[in-house]
Structure 1
Amino acid sequence: MSGQAPAPRPTLNDIRLVITDVDGVLTDGGIYYDATGECLKRFHVRDGMGMRLLEENGVRVAVLSGRDSATLRKRVADLGITLCQFGVKDKQAACNQLMAEAGVSAAQTACIGDDCIDLPAFAACALSFAVADAPVYVKAAATHVLDAAGGTGAFREVADSILFAQGKDAVLGTAAGYAQVMAKMAQ
């Protein structure tokens, strides 16, 4: 109406930070307890590799979870992820804080979620991804819906898409490209 074209939407090429939920994204959403009450979770190694590939190619990764556990903290530490918040109830405020820590804007940030607790994160970030097995109302709120379900490489799907969009796909598809980052990889 004003005669001015709307501002272009950010693309994967613009992304400098990916904020990911844990339960239902990096895991299948199941929580296992042993006889001592210790929480166990199953993580997909390709997601871990995707996190390291992004970090080594100039895209920061942040882990944001409504839960907190020694298992989660160990996984994040093993991957060398330093941007993280655990036991969070207000994911929008947490996303804004993580963006400030990373020195990026909302237009440079994508998030991945699977449930209604992630909707405030979707609102805080320019791009949002819902895993394939998220409820329909969460998928409707996301800017993108993934092919992968939680715990089956959903994060890696996003990571690969970003690397391809940013012209850094040699690290994924060639031995020479991967050799440039392999010393800092983790799964």
Structure 2
Amino acid sequence: MEGRDPDLDPDPEPTLADVRLVITDVDGVLTDGGLLYNAEGECLKRFHVRDGLGMKLLEESGVRVAVLSGRDSAPLRKRVADLGLTLCLFGVKDKATACRQLMAQAGVSAAQTACIGDDSIDLPAFAACGLSYAVPDAPEYVRHAASGVLHTSGGRGAFRELADAILAAQGRQAVLGSSEAYAQVMSAMAQ
């Protein structure tokens, strides 16, 4: 990154401008954390379309997105497929190992990786990634462990808030607010 002198600062703190991979939790981040069951089991999840568009905007701007969930369900798999995301792991209990696996698949380092979570199961992911973000309704100890706390709650566009911040930090904010810049990527968009 421009402006850094590796001789003066050999291990600089990562910034959003460095991010090349975002790993997101699902329940409590992409959803409000509620689980809807019927007699056959989990049947519905509610996702926010702005999060989906944020994922696609990142991908089209050269930042990979990975979905990492401690749960596995048909609605989750359908959402990931609809968005065309190829980096995903479901039913994971060891999120640190999973994060390292996703980083290897994406060809990025921990310093180039940000993650977003909401609960204790996400703390190992926070430790494995260069940057970590918690949703504002996460428990205090989870917010304290994160690099930053978002303003938007899970299921209400929290991922999009982080995506917009990454795009702005990387000088790509025109895709967010310019019809001309958005038109260059819109054919690949999904919500």
TM-score scaled by structure 1?
A: 0.96
The Cα shift of 1:47 comes to 0.2
Distance in 1 (alpha carbons) for counterparts of 2:180 and 2:35: 39
Match of 1:137 in 2: 141
How many residue pairs were aligned?
Answer: 184
Provide the residue aligned with 2:123 in structure 1: 119
Residue in 2 that maps onto 1:60 = 64
Deviation digits for residues 5-29 of structure 1, max 9, x if unmatched?
6732011000000000000000000
d(CA) in 1 for partners of 2:100 and 2:42?
A: 32
Tell me the equivalent position of 1:89. Answer: 93
The alignment-based identity, stated in percent, is 76
Query: Which of 168, 171, 174 does residue 172 from structure 2 map onto?
Result: 168
What 5-or-longer segments of structure 1 have no aligned partner? none
2:32 maps to which of 24, 28, 31: 28
Is 1:45 the counterpart of 2:46 in the alignment? no
Report if the CA contact (8 A) 2:31-2:154 is conserved: yes
1:133 aligned partner, one-letter code: D
1:77 to 57, 64, 81: 81
RMSD across aligned C-alpha pairs, in angstroms? 1.1
CA-CA distance at 1:33 after TM superposition = 1.2
Show CA shifts across 1:46-70 (max 9, x none).
0000000000000000000000001
Q: What is the CA deviation profile of residues 68-116 of structure 1, one whole-angstrom value per residue up to 9, with x for unaligned ones?
A: 0011000000000000000000000000000000000000000000000
Deviation for aligned residue 1:120: 0.2
CA distance in 2, matches of 1:13, 1:37: 41
**Partner Cα separation in structure 2 for residue 45 and residue 114 of structure 1:** 19
TM-score (normalizing by structure 2) = 0.94
SS at match of 1:73: helix
